[in-house]
Structure 1
Amino acid sequence: MLLHVHLGLYGAWSFGGDESFTGASSIGAPRRIGERETFSQDGSAESPGSSYAGPPEPVGAVRVRLVSANGWADLRGATTCAAITEAEAAAVLARLGPDPLHNRPGDREEFIRRLLRRKTAVGLLLMDQSVVAGIGNIYRAEVLFRQRVDPWTPGSSLNIETAGRLWDDTVAAMSDGVRDGRIVTTPSALWSGGNAGALDGEAHFVYKRQGQPCRRCGDVVGMAEIGARKLYWCPGCQN
């Protein structure tokens, strides 16, 4: 049996463990910038060498708890949480588009093919799991901004070069997020403190920056509902 989890908007994993257990304190909603990577048994940041006596009592509606000799993980609020067979898992995977974090040979070309065949707005297509797997709302907004693509452009109106750049930048951005344990899409030149771990509203170009000046052109960052999610973009840079 395999565990099938889809975090959705509100799902989150929380973790804790001894000094040999490393990882972010949470994955999902909410996601905190600059999280420490070693945690005590209650999930709070603690220096290496702390004793570990097992996981704390569950807090809230824990859907799944995973426990090892060195750490634990709790799941709450997930849209999907089910034990499934390998055949069922294969069927789920078959419905998904290419995964930028895997970036296997042929994935780039398959993404381009799926994107260009649809007349739907590219801002929606990047959140469609049958087109590309795993892009969340932050990466959707930030990659479209970084590549200067209007979110309302139909996928079929994009050219192959632009579609390829969207894939390449998504691979780079998501890989950086996995490496760093946080989502930071701006360059260090824009960080007033010079430290990614201490960023305060400087981690992104447009995400949750509606009404503020664009970091690139100075135009006002916009926000609109698209596909029941908030979309952030710069009308000046993305036209």
Structure 2
Amino acid sequence: MPEGPTLHRLARVHQRNFAGREVRVSSPQGKFADGAALVDGHVLKKAEAWGKHLLHHYDSGLVVHVHLGLIGAFSESEVPMGPPVGQVRMRMVGAEFGTDLRGPTICEVLHEPELAAIANRLGPDPLRRKADPELAWARLHRSKRSIAALLMDQSVVAGVGNVYRAELLFRRNMSPMLTGAGVSRAEWDAMWIDLVEMMKVGLRRGKIITIRREDDHGEGSYAKGRPRTYVYRRAGLPCRICGTPIQYTVLEGRNLFWCPTCQPD
């Protein structure tokens, strides 16, 4: 599932390509036909992201809310666009550029009060200006859930996925099984700073880069074209720092990777 920086990059692309202009919106697949008709021909005022949610604000006051889920993706192209290929949920066409959305978990039109309800459920997004880590701290520091589970809870921190979760905990030498209540305020402050820095790199580079330059050597990445990681998808392989085999388990339905030596209980 795409993590926060991917959605923020998409928001920047859509802001650049469509904002301030009338946009033709359609649903070649048909599943979003009613919603598309509500915003078709209106001016896109702003595109933004909050965590894993992409939001298109129109001059009518309506907002198109997109959550890509596991397989959702946008494809960008110049106009004129060719015939839709595959199951295109939403097509946006501007003066010079167009984009097709396929496979999202959510693609819907909201009124501002409905959008506010979503925002109130989300934790602070490290990539949004004025994001307040105090809100996340308030939700985690009394919790008996593991810090690994809490980091993936979008009501605690918005935009963190499996890669940033695993890599952040390794970089902080923190056991994923430590409870939220066991995390000190100083530790949380350091985690937040590290998370903001990593996600800004991901936004700028278009890749999730979590490994420090001095550690970026040795065995290659878990997949072609992906940057090296410390622990993510490295189960059974030696830790890049201490050589201990990386451990793996499933926690609350998601894969978890960690080094038992660098991240002791």
* Aligned residue in 2 for 1:2: 63
The one-letter code matched in structure 1 to 2:93 is V
Evaluate the alpha carbon distance shift between residue 83 and residue 222 of structure 1 in structure 2; reply closer, same or farther with a 3 A threshold: same
What is the 5 A alignment of 1:152-191?
152-191=177-216
**Which digits, 9 at most, give the CA deviation of each residue in 1:44-66, with x for residues without a partner?**
xxxxxxxxx42233222222222
**Which digits, 9 at most, give the CA deviation of each residue in 1:166-204, with x for residues without a partner?**
1111111111111111111113334459xx9xx756421
8 Å Cα contact 1:145-1:205 kept in structure 2: yes
* Aligned residue in 1 for 2:245: 220
Which one has a larger percent helix, Structure 1 or Structure 2? 2
Residue 262 of structure 2: SS of its match in structure 1?
Answer: coil
The one-letter code matched in structure 2 to 1:184 is I
CA drift of 1:132 comes to 1.0
The runs of 5 or more residues in structure 1 that have no matched partner are: 18-52
What is the root-mean-square deviation of aligned Cα atoms in Å? 2.2
* Aligned residue in 2 for 1:57: 83
Evaluate the alpha carbon distance shift between residue 192 and residue 122 of structure 1 in structure 2; reply closer, same or farther with a 3 A threshold: closer
The one-letter code matched in structure 2 to 1:3 is V
8 Å Cα contact 2:246-2:258 kept in structure 1: yes
CA drift of 1:110 comes to 1.8
Provide the identity percentage. 44
Q: Aligned equivalents of 1:189 and 1:200: distance in 2?
A: 20
The runs of 5 or more residues in structure 2 that have no matched partner are: 1-61
Residue 97 of structure 1: SS of its match in structure 2?
Answer: coil
Would you say how many aligned residue pairs link Structure 1 and Structure 2?
A: 200
What is the 5 A alignment of 1:1-239?
1-17=62-78, 53-104=79-130, 107-192=132-217, 202-239=227-264
Q: Aligned equivalents of 1:202 and 1:134: distance in 2?
A: 19
Q: Aligned equivalents of 1:220 and 1:58: distance in 2?
A: 47
In the superposition, the TM-score normalised over structure 2's length comes to: 0.70
Q: Aligned equivalents of 1:200 and 1:13: distance in 2?
A: 20
Q: Aligned equivalents of 1:83 and 1:15: distance in 2?
A: 21
Evaluate the alpha carbon distance shift between residue 91 and residue 167 of structure 1 in structure 2; reply closer, same or farther with a 3 A threshold: same
8 Å Cα contact 1:186-1:203 kept in structure 2: yes
Q: Aligned equivalents of 2:111 and 2:225: distance in 1?
A: 44
Q: Aligned equivalents of 1:200 and 1:188: distance in 2?
A: 17
Query: Is the deviation greater in 136-145 or in 7-16?
Result: 7-16
Q: Aligned equivalents of 1:138 and 1:203: distance in 2?
A: 11
The one-letter code matched in structure 2 to 1:64 is M
**Which digits, 9 at most, give the CA deviation of each residue in 1:139-159, with x for residues without a partner?**
111111111111111101111
Evaluate the alpha carbon distance shift between residue 204 and residue 56 of structure 1 in structure 2; reply closer, same or farther with a 3 A threshold: farther
CA drift of 1:87 comes to 1.0
8 Å Cα contact 1:206-1:214 kept in structure 2: yes
In the superposition, the TM-score normalised over structure 1's length comes to: 0.77
* Aligned residue in 1 for 2:24: none
The one-letter code matched in structure 1 to 2:76 is F
Residue 166 of structure 1: SS of its match in structure 2?
Answer: helix
Q: Aligned equivalents of 1:215 and 1:67: distance in 2?
A: 47
8 Å Cα contact 1:115-1:163 kept in structure 2: no
